[in-house]
Structure 1
Amino acid sequence: MGKWLKWALVIPLLVFAILIAGCSDKSTTTTNNAQVDNRIDKDNPSGDLAPLKKKAKVVIAEDGAASGAGFYIANEKGYFADYNIEVEFAQFANSDDMLPAVAAGEVDIAGGVSTASFFNAIAQGIDVKIVGDKGHNIPGKSYFTFVIGNKMKDVIKDYPDFKGKKIAISSKNSIDAYIYELMLKHAGLTKKDVKTVVMSDFGSMLGALENGSIDAALSIEPLIAQGASKGIVHRFGDATDFAPDSQIALVLASPKFMSTEKNISLRFMLAYLKGVRDYNDAFTKGEGKAEIVHIMTKYTALKDPAIWDKVHVTGLDPDGAMRIEDIHKQYEMYKANGATEGKFDFDKAIDTSVTEEAVKILGNYK
């Protein structure tokens, strides 16, 4: 993620987004929380809540990341349509533009990654709500983990062997740096014991590992699987060895979507969780996997179905539950590193009410 703009620069963007929202043709039904229609009727197309009387468009900021699986599957399998919801996927050049649009309600749903800048933006007045899980590592099968170069496979055999090595991460004061520091602590090392190389492009890390200019990297799927299949990299351990409960990506929502559009947001979350549960059925139980892989090849950059049998997929909680304690720990690390500005109000920023209500309707995933 790029560096967040300072508040003085964010204000014009926010005002611009609000002006756009006022002129938007986004068709949504405004409701009052006291009038939310959450009556369950098995005869509804959804099997639970009735569809909206007026079609609603929900704008999702999503760029084809694998962690957007719940959105893609729900769209393709008609779960959104069951509630009379139409989704539109919007792309932004960077998060500096995206967050103000979410805060203004022009974008309803977006994905966020933990960085100091993300916390700072919210602390300084960008009002977005953190509502659910959009990515975590699955124990033993981390999709975001360390790899070592081919020349290092007989040299780096345990975590302490990282001492004196050149290790690449994509950014500082981010989830990358958080996992990196946890690894060093687990290895009994400090940042002074290693050479940290910041490479913003994960793809460039593969070439650097191949030519030996770096020894290891904190990489991500599907690059890990692709690099391993070419013999360029080797997986090293698993990030859950030392960071078993890291919250890597988050589902964000606009305050308007969570409050005055509750009839829509509740149905959206129901559809989203149904998509996430199909994803879990496919990749943890092997149920309907071919169909889900087909959907993923349609929406993401990973077009080869065979590779989906080799990647360690993004963990998506079927009940949308986040690792909130870990989010606190990430923030405390950024704060300790002097990277935070202002005070982040967790109680205000985290709103899991719609997610929890959706789970009550669906029942917990088994």
Structure 2
Amino acid sequence: MTGITRRGALGLMGGAAALPMLGRPALANTKVVVGALNFTSHAASFVAYERGYFAEAGLDVEFKFFQAAQPMAVAIASGDADYAVTAISGGLISLAEKGAAKVIGGALSEEKGIDGQKILVSDAAYQAGVTTPKALDGKKFGMTQAGSSFHYMGAKIAAAEGINLEYVPLQKVGAVIGALKSGQIDAWSIVPHIAKPLAGSGAVHIIGDLADYIPDYQVTTVFTSAGNAANERDKTAAFLAAFSKGAADFNAALVDKTTSADEAEAMIQLVHKYVYSDKPYDKAKPGIVNGAMRINAEAALNMGSVQDQLSWFKAEGLVKDTVSMEMLVDPSYVKTM
């Protein structure tokens, strides 16, 4: 994708499969900027980098870190990042509709039997009797932006419970955390590596599991510019192959727990370089372990979940009704389900 600046990408938003072998010589030292959040859910990228899988694929990776999903979509469209992993947002869908971005694979997923995202409430709300999702009627639910995954999650909870929520956009995850702890908002839903330490502090309380409301939710996806998807197939396939090797290592060590204790410890130490790196290791370790959710094998993509998300964004008027799955997803790189 060429010719779209960051300002242009923001304007567009407002208008709103087998993988090859690694190490192709033609890709030697190809510079790639990868968008990420400092979340355990992004561990596949971190593992692929730290264990040399990107380098083996001929990719010289640099990470660019963000505080929310929508700015990451802007960076992909403007060329400030080449690949990214985060939740589907209204901004990403609008950019895809304009031919600026494509979802090319799946990453984090809710899976039955594996601890997933939690529904949280502030201590003030909990003490006032908000101890179940049903009791959230009329309460303030935090999100980064309108049209974010948090907006989608809150809406699915509200629809299932037959309640109404007041959505409060706070732009950054850190701001949502602060507002929840101080009682400025009543509720939120987030991945367990953040939810459980917050609940352990006593400042917030867990009152439910998101999987009860959105089973098999494709929480995050891998996406790139439409230009990369269409015209840089070797590079894109190599990125996905390396990413998938990182995901396999992460799943084995911390999700399926099929490795040795030493190997699991090494994985936690690796992730700690990027997640809770401001905390001592012994303080960070429980959150990393508790936050280990499945990252899809070989970046397989749950098309049913993506379709549900797209349908919700369209029904809410957050994206154009004419947006199709073909505009949003390039299914040619990975297995779909």
Task: Give the TM-score normalised by the residue count of structure 2.
Answer: 0.78
Residue in structure 2 matching 1:62, options 26, 36, 39: 36
Q: Does 1:231 align with 2:229?
A: no
Cα distance, 1:207 vs. partner?
4.7
The one-character-per-residue Cα deviations of 1:12-44 (angstroms, maximum 9, x if unpaired) are 999xxxxxxxxxxxxxxxxxxxxxx95xxxxxx
CA contact (8 A) 1:52 1:85 kept: no
- The question of 1:297 aligning with 2:272 is answered yes
1:327 aligns with 2:306: yes
- Which residue of 2 is the match for residue 274 of structure 1? 245
- 1:254 deviates by 2.9
Superposition RMSD on alpha carbons, in Å?
3.5
Distance 2:93 2:10 in 1: 19
Partner of 1:353: 332
- The counterpart of 2:286, out of the listed 281, 306, 309, is 309
Give the structure 2 partner of residue 117 of structure 1: 91
CA contact (8 A) 1:131 1:351 kept: yes
Q: Do the aligned partners of residues 170 and 131 (structure 1) sit closer, same or farther apart at CA in structure 2, a change above 3 Å counting? A: same
Secondary structure, aligned partner of 1:300: coil
Matched, 1:177 2:154: no
Contact 1:134 1:251 survives alignment (8 Å): yes
Contact 1:70–1:273 (CA under 8 A) maintained in structure 2: yes
Query: Does structure 2 retain, via aligned residues, the 8 Å contact 1:141–1:312?
Result: no
Residue 290 of structure 1: how far off its partner (Å):
1.2
Which residue does the alignment assign to 2:136? Answer: 162
Unaligned runs of 5+ residues in structure 2 are 13-18
Which deviates the most, 58-67 or 314-323? 58-67
Give how far 1:93 is off: 8.6
Q: CA deviation at 1:153?
A: 5.9
Q: Which residue in the other structure is 1:10 paired with?
A: 8
Which residue in the other structure is 2:236 paired with? 265
CA distance in 1, matches of 2:167, 2:202: 24
SS at match of 1:333: helix
CA distance in 2 between counterparts of 1:260 and 1:329 reads 28
Structure 1 unpaired stretches of 5+: 1-5, 15-36, 39-47, 360-366
Distance 1:295 1:142 in 2: 21
Deviates more, 1:327-336 or 1:149-158: 149-158
Residues in 2 aligned to 1:203 and 1:84: alpha-carbon distance in whole angstroms: 35
Can you list the C-alpha shifts for 1:185-218, whole angstroms capped at 9, x where unaligned? 222x232xx5444444444444544454444333
Cα distance 1:57–1:13, how it changes in 2: closer, same or farther (>3 A)? farther
**Which of these residues, 74, 82, 89, is aligned with residue 48 of structure 2?**
74
The answer to whether the Cα contact below 8 Å between 2:87 and 2:149 also exists between their aligned partners in 1 is yes
Contact kept, 8 Å, 2:119 with 2:189, in 1: the verdict is yes
Report the more deviating stretch, 299-308 or 236-245.
299-308
**Pair 1:207–1:117, CA change in 2 (3 A):** closer
Match of 2:215 among 219, 244, 250: 244
**Pairwise CA distance, 1:267:** 2.5
Q: Does 1:340 align with 2:319?
A: yes
The sequence identity of aligned pairs, in percent, is 22
Looking at CA atoms only, which structure, 1 or 2, has the larger radius of gyration?
1
Residue 251 of structure 1: how far off its partner (Å):
0.8
Separation of aligned partners in 2, 1:315 and 1:296:
15
Q: Separation in 1 of the partners of 2:240 and 2:224?
A: 11
Q: In structure 2, the residue corresponding to 1:136 is in which secondary structure? A: coil
* Structure 2 CA distance for partners of 1:140 and 1:119, relative to 1, 3 Å: same
Q: Could you tell me how far 1:130 is from its partner in structure 2?
A: 0.7
2-side partners of 1:294 and 1:139: how far apart? Answer: 27
Q: How far apart are residue 348 of structure 1 and its match? A: 3.8
Instruction: Pick closer, same or farther for the CA change 1:181–1:255 going to 2, 3 Å.
Output: closer
Once residues 137 and 130 of structure 1 are traced to their aligned partners in structure 2, the CA distance between those partners, rounded to angstroms, is 18
Answer whether contact 1:153 1:234 (CA < 8 A) is retained.
no
In 1, Cα distance between equivalents of 2:294 and 2:316: 28
Code of the residue aligned with 1:273 in structure 2: it is: S
**Residue pairs, 1:123-202, within 5 angstroms:** 123=97, 125-139=98-112, 143-151=116-124, 152=126, 155-187=129-161, 189-191=162-164, 194-202=165-173
SS in structure 1 at match of 2:220: strand
Separation in structure 1 between the aligned mates of residue 146 and residue 113 of structure 2, nearest angstrom = 25
Alpha-carbon distance in 2 for matches of 1:237, 1:202: 20
CA contact (8 A) 2:314 2:321 kept: no
Distance 2:91 2:120 in 1: 26
Q: TM-score, normalised by structure 1?
A: 0.73
Task: Classify the secondary structure of the residue corresponding to 2:62.
Answer: strand
127-136 vs 168-177, greater mean Cα deviation: 168-177
Question: Aligned partners of 2:142, 2:48: CA distance in 1, in Å?
Answer: 36
